C-alpha cells in the first residue's frame, strides 16, 4: 500500500489516551514501513496543556514511544518520524487560536485530514470553528465513536457536521472494520467458490459474534456509567461485524458498493417487540470476582460509577435478519467487561448432516464450524470431522488453521494503521456511512427505551466468568451454546 499522496494530518486531542496508544503509534508504523506515507506529509498535533513543539515532542518520547513496535524501536526511523510532527497550542474556546491553526497548516502540503480524538460534545464546536477560518474546504474529517447517545443526538451531530462537511468528506471510524481477519472474511467469502454457496440458511444453523474483555471500566467509570455496553459496543462494533458477515456480495469493493450491502442487512434486522425484549436480550453487570488469580472489584464500587447504578456491563442478544438468505437463522451477539477471557471472534455453526451413516460417534463429535478470531491472535479455523485412528468408525473434531502471523512473512497491519492510510488516500469503504449509523440506532433504540422504562436491574455475574446464566439459557433454547475456548 504505497502512496505519493502528500497530506497534513491535524490531530485534535493530541495528548489524549487514544492519540498515545493508537493513532500516533499507527502513524509511526506506516512511516517506519517506508513508502506508505509521502515524505512531505506532516502531522500537526493540537492540544492546550502543552506549551510548544519542544514540550510536545518530549511528551511523545515519554508517552507514545513505549506503545510502538513490539520488536523494539528503530531509532533512526523514530527520529525521522518526530521531524514530521508540528504542534499548535489551541484553546477550543478561543476563536483566535483557530486562526493560528489556519496559518500553521496553510503552508503545509497536500490534503488536510482533521482527526477528532476528542469527546463527541466537541465535534460540532470544532467543525464550526474550522469552517469559520475556511479549513473545511477540500478536507477530510475523522469522527471517533461514540457519535451520540441515541438516535436523536446522533442525528443532531450528523446534521451539524453535515452542514460543514459533505458526506464524502466524513470518515466515521470503527476500528474493528480495519482488523485483518475482517478483511480476510471478505476474501474468504467472495474470493473462494468453496464457502459462498454454503453461506446461507440452508447450510448455516447459527452464527455467534463475541467481543469479550477481561478489563473493567478502568478510569472511565464516569463515561461508562452514562453509556453502557449496548451503546458502547453493540450499536457500532457488533452490528458492523454482523453486517459484514451477512451482506450480499457487492459488485465491487468500492466504498458505496460495500456500504450499500451493509446497509441492506441493517435495514433487514427484525425489529424487536418491546414485549419480547426479555426473551432475546440479556443485560448484566459484573460483581466482584477473580481474573487470572487477582481479585477485582464490583462495577458498583468502581470510581465514577453512581450509587445503585443500573448500567449494563454485559449484553447478549438474539438477532434475526428478515431476508431470503438468512430467514430463520439466529445471530447471537455477546459483549461484556470483566469476562473470563479477552477475545473477539465470529463463529459460523453449520448444520449437521441430514443423516449419519457413520453411527452415533458422528453425532457426538458435532457439526462443522468456522471460527474467525479477531483478537488476541488473529486466525481462521475450520472444524471438520475425521476418523480417529484404530478399530471402528469413531469420529472426532479436527481443524484446519490459517494463522496469519505464521503463514505470511511480512508483519500484519494494525487496524488503526490501515484506517488512517485509507483516510489519507481517500478510501471510504471501511468507514461508516450516515445511513448505516441511523439504521443501527433505530434497531437498538427500542431495547434502550424498554430497559429505561422497566427500571429492572441488570442480572449479576461474577467477574472472571462468561456473564449471566441467562445468556447461556437463551442459546440452550435453540439447542446450541456459546463457543468458549482457551486462547
Provide the annotated active-site residues: 237
Kindly report whether the global pTM for this prediction surpasses the value 0.85: yes
Please provide residue 386's backbone torsions phi and psi, each rounded to the nearest 5 degrees. -140, 155
Model pLDDT for residues 106-129, shown as the tens digit of each residue: 989 899 999 999 988 899 999 999
Beta strands 294-296 and 289-291 are antiparallel
Confidence band of 361 (pLDDT split at 50, 70, 90): low
pLDDT, residue 375, reads 86
- The binding site comprises 48, 91-92, 145, 175, 179, 213, 232, 337
CATH fold for the domain made of 7-144: Rossmann fold (3.40.50)
Q: Report which DSSP code applies to 65.
A: G
169-195: pLDDT as tens digits: 999 999 999 988 888 888 888 888 888
With contact defined as beta carbons under 8 Å apart, do 248 and 225 qualify? no
CB-count exposure of residue 194 (10 Å: 0-12, 13-18, 19+): exposed
Cα-flanking dihedrals φ and ψ of residue 401, to 5°? -115, 140
pLDDT tens by residue, 3-50 = 557 999 999 999 999 999 999 999 999 999 888 999 999 999 999 888
Segments of the chain assigned to CATH 3.40.50.720: 7-144
Output the known binding site for substrate.
Answer: 175, 179, 213, 232, 337
Sort strands 204-212 and 331-336 into parallel, antiparallel or unpaired.
Answer: parallel
What pLDDT sits at residue 485?
65
- Quick: pLDDT tens for 298-314: 999 999 999 899 999 99
Annotated binding site for NADP(+): 48, 91-92, 145
Q: What are the cell numbers at 320?
A: 434475526
Question: CA–CA distance from 342 to each of 22, 133, 371 (Å)?
Answer: 18, 45, 16
Q: What is the location of CATH 3.30.360.10 in the chain?
A: 177-411+431-476
Superfamily of domain 177-411+431-476 in CATH is Dihydrodipicolinate Reductase; domain 2 (3.30.360.10)
Q: Which pLDDT score is estimated for 45?
A: 96
79 pLDDT band, cuts 50/70/90, is: very high
pLDDT interval class at 98 (50, 70, 90):
very high
Categorize the per-residue pLDDT at 206 as very low, low, confident or very high, splitting at 50, 70 and 90. Answer: very high
Measured from the Cβ of residue 196, the count of other Cβ atoms closer than 10 Å reads 13
CA distances from 334 to 53, 68, 131, 208 (A): 44, 31, 41, 8
For residue 146, say if its preceding peptide bond is cis, omega within 30 degrees of 0. yes
Amino acid at each position: 500500500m504505497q502512496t505519493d499522496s502528500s497530506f497534513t494530518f491535524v490531530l485534535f486531542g493530541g495528548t489524549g489516551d487514544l492519540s498515545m496508544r493508537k493513532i500516533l503509534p499507527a502513524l509511526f508504523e506506516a512511516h517506519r514501513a517506508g513508502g506508505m506515507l509521502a515524505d512531505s506529509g506532516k502531522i500537526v498535533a493540537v492540544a492546550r496543556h502543552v506549551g510548544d513543539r519542544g514540550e510536545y515532542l518530549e511528551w511523545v518520547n515519554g508517552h507514545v514511544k513505549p506503545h510502538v513496535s513490539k520488536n523494539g524501536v528503530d531509532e533512526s526511523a523514530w527520529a525521522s518520524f518526530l521531524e514530521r510532527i508540528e504542534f499548535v497550542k489551541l484553546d477550543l474556546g478561543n476563536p483566535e487560536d483557530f486562526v493560528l491553526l489556519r496559518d500553521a497548516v496553510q503552508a503545509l502540503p497536500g490534503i488536510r485530514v482533521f482527526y477528532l480524538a476528542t469527546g463527541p460534545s466537541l465535534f460540532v464546536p470544532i467543525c464550526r470553528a474550522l469552517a469559520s477560518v475556511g479549513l473545511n474546504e477540500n478536507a477530510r474529517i475523522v469522527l471517533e465513536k461514540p457519535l451520540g447517545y441515541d438516535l436523536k443526538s446522533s442525528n443532531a451531530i450528523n446534521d451539524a457536521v453535515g452542514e460543514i462537511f459533505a458526506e464524502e468528506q466524513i470518515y466515521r471510524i470503527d476500528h474493528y472494520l480495519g482488523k485483518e481477519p475482517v478483511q480476510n472474511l471478505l476474501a474468504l467469502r467472495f474470493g473462494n467458490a468453496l464457502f459462498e454457496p454454503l453461506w446461507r440458511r440452508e447450510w448455516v444453523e447459527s452464527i455467534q459474534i463475541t467481543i469479550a474483555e477481561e478489563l473493567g471500566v478502568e478510569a472511565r467509570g464516569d463515561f461508562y456509567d452514562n453509556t453502557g455496553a449496548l451503546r458502547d459496543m453493540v450499536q457500532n462494533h457488533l452490528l458492523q461485524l454482523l453486517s459484514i458477515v451477512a451482506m450480499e456480495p457487492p459488485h465491487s469493493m468500492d466504498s458505496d458498493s460495500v456500504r450499500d450491502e451493509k446497509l441492506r442487512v441493517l435495514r433487514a434486522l427484525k425489529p424487536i417487540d418491546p414485549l419480547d425484549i426479555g426473551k432475546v436480550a440479556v443485560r448484566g453487570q459484573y460483581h466482584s470476582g477473580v481474573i487470572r488469580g487477582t481479585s477485582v472489584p464490583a462495577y458498583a464500587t468502581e470510581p465514577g460509577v453512581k450509587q445503585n447504578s443500573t448500567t449494563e456491563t454485559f449484553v447478549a442478544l438474539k438477532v434475526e435478519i428478515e431476508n431470503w438468505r438468512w430467514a430463520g437463522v439466529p445471530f447471537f451477539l455477546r459483549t461484556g467487561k470483566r469476562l473470563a477471557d479477552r477475545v473477539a471472534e465470529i463463529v459460523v455453526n453449520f448444520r449437521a448432516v441430514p443423516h449419519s451413516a457413520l453411527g452415533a460417534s458422528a453425532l457426538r463429535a458435532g457439526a462443522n464450524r468456522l471460527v474467525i478470531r479477531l483478537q488476541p491472535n488473529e486466525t481462521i479455523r475450520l472444524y471438520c470431522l475425521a476418523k480417529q485412528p484404530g478399530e471402528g468408525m469413531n469420529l472426532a473434531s479436527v481443524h484446519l488453521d490459517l494463522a496469519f502471523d505464521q503463514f505470511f512473512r511480512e508483519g500484519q497491519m494494525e487496524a488503526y494503521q490501515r484506517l488512517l492510510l485509507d483516510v489519507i488516500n481517500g478510501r471510504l469503504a471501511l468507514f461508516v456511512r450516515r445511513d448505516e449509523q441511523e439504521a443501527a440506532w433505530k434497531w437498538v433504540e427500542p431495547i434502550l427505551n424498554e430497559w429505561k422504562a422497566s427500571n429492572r436491574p441488570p442480572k449479576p455475574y461474577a467477574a472472571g466468568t462468561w456473564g449471566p446464566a441467562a445468556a447461556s439459557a437463551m442459546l440452550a433454547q435453540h439447542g446450541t451454546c456459546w463457543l468458549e475456548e482457551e486462547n
